[in-house]
Structure 1
């Protein structure tokens, strides 16, 4: 539409110029002069006015041709200008599309980089968490190993002390036996002396009564020593059993400071035939029962009288924490 408006103005100007030229030519003709016959004859012979009109018409045609050429050139230039404008518009559109594509590509790359960064951060965080968990696990395992080693050393120390105590008690029993034999020898000597000296029957009875009393006292002492020895052995095996339970006990912080009463029945080879809990913290009771069943067998003495004291034993389990 703008191109058509631009062409109308030159056409109007061209039409006006045509009309003006034609009017000027018309004005150049002298209509008021009355030529003489001679003039008419000359004019008729030379015909200059007609020639002037023809020359002016040629100029008009030349001018019209020039106007047409100018119009054609203007049309060509306008088409070239329109083509250039379209080319520029297409180039600008392509540039905008390329820029939009570049921006979208950059945005996609930025999102991908952010996603990769998040994934890398998540992976690093997971690796740190795993390393911390493994470190805590190793620390816990080392703590458990140290605890077990300490418990083993304590059990060995308790067993050593119990062994030393047992040996001391055996030595005391042997000494008592020697003294008893010495007393018996003295009795025999006393009897022989009594027979040799023909002491009275009353004196002999008195000596026999005294001897009987001494033997009863000695027997009582021997019995007390044996009972003491049995108690020592019982305490030693109780300590070993408690140590075995502690080694197999799975500790939980909720068990700290709590305990459970446990009744255990043992076969002669130490096999656990029955486990009963009779009171205490439920968590500790469950853990103690699981530890005993896990052990399967507990330490028992090969001595029959000691086993009789161990076959149906009651213990109080108290979880030991570092």
Structure 2
């Protein structure tokens, strides 16, 4: 490309110089005056001074015209030369500018291509980085999911194991509780039986010694019934029957009374109301320790029905009974 531009510049320069030479040749005066022949013959001629002056004037005018023409030609040649030089310089400047523009364009093209390649390289590197990052992110996500799945499975297994352990413990606790309850029930039954047996023995002993230590050991210090007939043999018989049935009632109530050490020294007064056939209609607290009275009332209600004699007068006396419980 540079060689072609150089050749073009040389051709233009040669063309300008050739044109300049042609113009010089074209402006030159190639007229030759024919010199008169010189001989030995001399002719004497009379010359009119006026004519001579006129001819001299004409010569001067011709010379001045030639001089003016030469000056004009020189000025025209100079102007043309300057114009050609200016054109040459303009052409040279234009060629230089074209070359510079071309170089600038080529440089810009190279820079653009370099920038494009750099951008392409950066884009490819960014794409490669993005692909690597995407793969890393995908792997991290997969690893996180695998860890989460493993944790979820471990948590589920731990939860299942914990539930199984809790169920096993609950079953064991329930069995232990059932066993403990069964043992407690068996012990309570055994204790109740032992207590009942002991109570029965004590009752038997108390019944044998009722007359001697009733005032000290009998839990019922008083059994009173309304007796309208006090005098005579009939009254004594009714009183004896009431006392006998009262003893029976005391024994029946005593068998159901749960005695506690805290009852010692306490007292409770109750009123029993019975039907004609001995059913307990009502039992109420008149006075005394509330806990002891609840235990005595519970014992009465457990009896539920007391035996009644055939004698209606005795039955009448037993319909309302006042009891004093003092362990």
Asked if Structure 1 and Structure 2 have the same fold, meaning a TM-score greater than 0.5 normalized by the shorter chain, the answer is no
Higher share of residues assigned helix:
1
TM-score range, shorter chain: 0.3 to 0.5
Q: Rg bigger for which structure?
A: 2
TM-score (normalizing by structure 1): 0.39
